[in-house]
Structure 1
Amino acid sequence: MTGQFEWSMWSIGLAVVTWSIVIGALVVIPFRRSPAAAQGWLLLFFFQPFAALALYFLIGDARHPKWRRERIKHVPGLVKRASQDIPGDVSDAAASLPPKSRTAARLVRSIGQLPCVAGNTISLDADYNRVVDRIAGDIEAARSHVHVMFYILQDDEAGNRLLSAMERAARRGVKCRLLIDAVGSANHRGAIMRRLAGTGVEVHLILPWRIWRRATRADLRNHRKIVVVDGLVGWVGSQNMHRMEYEPNTFYREVMARVTGPVVLELQSVFVGDWYLETDEDISNQDIMPWPEATEGKVRAQVLPSGPDHPDSGIDTLFTDLIHAAGDRVVLTTPYFIPNEPLSLALRTAVAKGVKVTLFMTATTNSFFIDHAQRSYYDELLYSGVEVMLYRERFLHAKHLSIDDDIALIGSANMDRRSFELNSEVTLVVYDAGVVRQLRRIEDDYRAKSRRLTIEEWEKRGFFTQLAENAMRLVSPLL
């Protein structure tokens, strides 16, 4: 009898705790979250309340810890000071843009603070190994400083080219600073730190995971890829610094932009802000923000930093706005596609208005969960008329968007919640028909190596495949 009573009390106690967790989740979870994200969390709390509670404490709040948020408050002023040397005659470039581009430029500046600037030269490069060689070559020519930031940096064939060039530059007296993400570069960060010790290259980890003093979040990462040489040459895009075959039998395809002109100073400003966040050191000064003696380029562009350090609005706001503004064509390339509702609606609405919308994606991702989650969005896209092209040759890791014939976005952001809310990203926004033509040639090559997914093929997938897609769809806002 006593045993039955104790068991009954344990059962009642467990039920009270379980329902307290669920009711608490109903109160807390919907606050300042999208309906989709709230739905994903609440489903998890209803089915696995204790596991959900532990997971929520780890990654539930898409904000940095308090100490980091306090430091972030200083970044806008620091970035503004770092970019204030850009002369007004080029920083007012948005005024001469066509209405659609001018509106976009105002939105980009509102989100990321950096203006549209004229006088740039921008070349796109989709040759993986050539990009590595060209970046190393630019570093070899450095005279003043080299600033490098990568989400993934490995001490392999590609990483060695970069690190060796930085080591040689440091021996010449060039000031070299390197930031690598502590989680993205986890496999090689120790070896890199040991290799660079005593070389003159100053290296810091971005957000090393800690659960005690100055705690950090493991899921809030810096996903940016930036190289700045002497404040005169910059690189930005999707490519990390590792060999092309990053995973066994998985060869990456990327797109990077090499930039010269005033927009390089905007990439420099982003690096200055990230360096401050990791070191509490303000490195902004006129030596690293040189104004080029002659701006031979004619391209108008601006840089958009986004992420938890810019919490008021994200890169998805720009994507959605530009798709709504498109009049003729939208081409979107991403390895990971888990859109929020506004972005998904924008794509469907564009098709309804007569805009040709093409989505290039890799045929198979490197994640079972993401692969099935993003497939769950194909149905509505295909039936609305979006052209879904599955790239077959390699793992298509490039991230870019072209709107009509005059706007191009190249950067580090995927089309998923992680890039929209959790990762620090950087995007180069270009208002130039010539750069769009460069991107079109790359997109044409994708098309030649892709197959179009048809509604007929899509409807033939099996029951268990559909079941996996639907299950992953429910939790896709958490991926």
Structure 2
Amino acid sequence: MIAFIKDNVWSILLVFNYLLAVSAVITILLKNINPSKTIAYILVLIFFPFFGLVVYYLFGQEYRKTKLFNRKDIANSNIIKSVGKNLRFEEKKFEDVTIGLDDKIKLIKLLRASEKSPLTLNNDVEILKNGEVKFKRLLEDLRQAKNHIHLEYYIIKDDLIGTELLDIVCEKSKQGIEVKLSYDDVGSKLSSKMKQKLHESGVEYVPFMPVLFSSLTGKSNYRNHRKIAIIDGEIGYVGGVNVSDNYVNNGSNTIYWRDTHLRIYGEAVKVLQFHFLTTWDFVTEHAIEIKKSYFPKINFDGNVAIQIAASGPDTDWANIMEAILTAINNAEDYIYLTTPYFIPNDQIITALQIASKIGVDVKLLIPKDSDSWIAKHATNSNLEKLLEAGVKVHRYNKGFIHAKTLVVDDVFSTIGTCNLDNRSFNINFEINALIYNKHQSELLKSHFLDDLKNSECINFDTWKNRSKLSKLKESYARLWSPLL
């Protein structure tokens, strides 16, 4: 028997592999998930023995999601009840706010019914272009904190900018300021020395869903991709800029990093606070105390209407994707969209095609060179169908563009953490600010048009005649796109 096993070990392993693969295929079919995603998993399981099983058990299993995020959803509901009395906003006539929005009012209605995405009215915002601008403002605000600092980041490293930020919060904590830090265990990298310093300074820090080998799980599912900073419940930050030297153009980086972040002062910060608290309650072992100081009265009469849209595997609806889709469908003049990864679902592709064909000026800005080979070619696989419909596709060539923004018709814009891909729409935790304001939309539009000066517009005929090798790479990457 032992001799037989030794002589046929690979055959036995292969049979065992396909028994597990068949079981996995049956499980996938019974889930009735997206057909393209189903086919992608089945192809990987059949044509890539052993490797296919690793991919499926790392990325396709739902038992962890069901167990963990059912618990998080319950926690969210409890937090909603606890903070509901604090989410009281100064009332203005809804009609006064929505003047000039036309059909964009549907966007507000889409999320307004959700107790997690109320429309906030008394806000002022600053659109922050690039990490160096974001950190200048953020570090100033952190130094001025008087009550609490709440930070939630996908990437935070103790490099130059990260150490400067963490040194400030350590000093504030020693002064008696409450500091809470939630960081994603896959995206972030903090040394044991820095963790010891945080601990000794009284900073509460917790990793989001710890993993054993973070360096080997860069694309593992259900990561917290949000970037949130809250100071005293009055000032909030959200956008694409993580805490790392890679995001700061200080001369030390080999590549120019173009990104966009948002600073909010006003009522919308209360909603950011709510989402921070639900995550904190999920990642910590003890019940969270909801303090009145987390939701101070905002003595400010701003004129920027904002909704905070959050999405993740614990939400019933893909809120951010639906908001983007609704904005595209209701555009009349133009759609200017920036994303580092363009691997969307068929609904977004079709909506952009239709908008362009009916005369809307649709411009898409993506990086010329990506930080991911497979994401680059998966993105490229979607471009020909857009170009054919008249969409103008521009590729940023000054460096890497990481901004995630959309501006429509001078009245609506969004800045946040959500990429246009399956991972952001359905797998990771994301958060965007939806802004209903003419001035801010025009400002973001001007940033977009400035970025086009450092971009090349793809010619449809030239693109259609690209090499067969390029098309083959795109077709290969496209097979993996539902899993990216």
Taking structure 2 as the reference length, the TM-score comes to 0.90
Shift of 1:102: 2.6
Secondary structure of residue in 1 paired with 2:186: coil
Find the counterpart in structure 1 of residue 124 from structure 2.
121
Find the counterpart in structure 2 of residue 203 from structure 1.
205
Partners of 1:112 and 1:32 lie apart in 2 by 29
Find the counterpart in structure 1 of residue 142 from structure 2.
139
Find the counterpart in structure 1 of residue 410 from structure 2.
405
Q: How does 1:32-431 map to 2 (within 5 A)?
A: 32-62=32-62, 64=65, 66-90=67-91, 93=94, 96-97=97-98, 98-110=101-113, 113-185=116-188, 187-209=189-211, 218-244=220-246, 249-280=254-285, 281-292=287-298, 294-431=299-436
Shift of 1:283: 3.3
Partners of 2:203 and 2:347 lie apart in 1 by 44
Partners of 2:93 and 2:79 lie apart in 1 by 21
Secondary structure of residue in 2 paired with 1:74: helix
Q: Partner amino acid for 1:392?
A: N
Q: Does 336-345 or 201-210 show the bigger shift?
A: 201-210
The answer on whether the counterparts of 2:120 and 2:305 sit within 8 Å (CA) in structure 1 is yes
The answer on whether the counterparts of 1:225 and 1:237 sit within 8 Å (CA) in structure 2 is yes
The answer on whether the counterparts of 1:360 and 1:389 sit within 8 Å (CA) in structure 2 is yes
Residues 382, 190 of structure 1: CA spacing in aligned structure 2 closer, same or farther, 3 A cutoff? farther
What does the per-residue CA deviation read over 1:36-63, in whole Å, with 9 as the maximum and x for residues that have no partner?
2112112112212432223212220355
Find the counterpart in structure 2 of residue 434 from structure 1.
439
Partners of 1:38 and 1:438 lie apart in 2 by 42
Secondary structure of residue in 1 paired with 2:385: helix
The answer on whether the counterparts of 1:91 and 1:116 sit within 8 Å (CA) in structure 2 is no
Shift of 1:92: 7.3
Residues 446, 66 of structure 1: CA spacing in aligned structure 2 closer, same or farther, 3 A cutoff? same
Shift of 1:81: 3.1
Q: Does 439-448 or 282-291 show the bigger shift?
A: 282-291
Shift of 1:64: 2.0
The answer on whether the counterparts of 2:21 and 2:53 sit within 8 Å (CA) in structure 1 is no
What does the per-residue CA deviation read over 1:13-37, in whole Å, with 9 as the maximum and x for residues that have no partner?
7786565445434432242411221
Partners of 1:200 and 1:443 lie apart in 2 by 42
Residues 197, 431 of structure 1: CA spacing in aligned structure 2 closer, same or farther, 3 A cutoff? same
Residues 295, 21 of structure 1: CA spacing in aligned structure 2 closer, same or farther, 3 A cutoff? same
In structure 1, the gaps of 5 or more residues are 212-216
Residues 7, 169 of structure 1: CA spacing in aligned structure 2 closer, same or farther, 3 A cutoff? closer
The answer on whether the counterparts of 1:167 and 1:199 sit within 8 Å (CA) in structure 2 is yes
The answer on whether the counterparts of 2:90 and 2:122 sit within 8 Å (CA) in structure 1 is no
Q: How does 1:13-32 map to 2 (within 5 A)?
A: 17=16, 20-21=19-20, 23-30=22-29, 31-32=31-32
Q: Does 330-339 or 27-36 show the bigger shift?
A: 27-36
Partners of 2:231 and 2:440 lie apart in 1 by 22
The answer on whether the counterparts of 2:75 and 2:282 sit within 8 Å (CA) in structure 1 is no
Secondary structure of residue in 2 paired with 1:192: helix
Partners of 2:93 and 2:169 lie apart in 1 by 35
Identity %: 29
The answer on whether the counterparts of 1:177 and 1:201 sit within 8 Å (CA) in structure 2 is yes
The answer on whether the counterparts of 1:111 and 1:306 sit within 8 Å (CA) in structure 2 is no
Partners of 1:210 and 1:442 lie apart in 2 by 41
Partners of 2:242 and 2:5 lie apart in 1 by 61
Residues 202, 22 of structure 1: CA spacing in aligned structure 2 closer, same or farther, 3 A cutoff? closer
What does the per-residue CA deviation read over 1:306-329, in whole Å, with 9 as the maximum and x for residues that have no partner?
111214334222211221111111
Partners of 2:462 and 2:385 lie apart in 1 by 14
Find the counterpart in structure 1 of residue 216 from structure 2.
none
Residues 108, 347 of structure 1: CA spacing in aligned structure 2 closer, same or farther, 3 A cutoff? same
Partners of 1:312 and 1:422 lie apart in 2 by 12
Shift of 1:343: 1.0
Q: Which runs of 4+ in 1 moved over 4 A?
A: 3-11, 13-23, 91-96, 245-248
Q: Partner amino acid for 1:78?
A: I
CA RMSD of aligned residues (A): 2.6
The answer on whether the counterparts of 2:75 and 2:281 sit within 8 Å (CA) in structure 1 is no
Shift of 1:295: 1.9
Partners of 1:9 and 1:201 lie apart in 2 by 53
Residues 255, 94 of structure 1: CA spacing in aligned structure 2 closer, same or farther, 3 A cutoff? farther
Partners of 1:38 and 1:464 lie apart in 2 by 27
Partners of 1:366 and 1:333 lie apart in 2 by 16
Secondary structure of residue in 2 paired with 1:335: coil
Q: Does 333-342 or 32-41 show the bigger shift?
A: 32-41
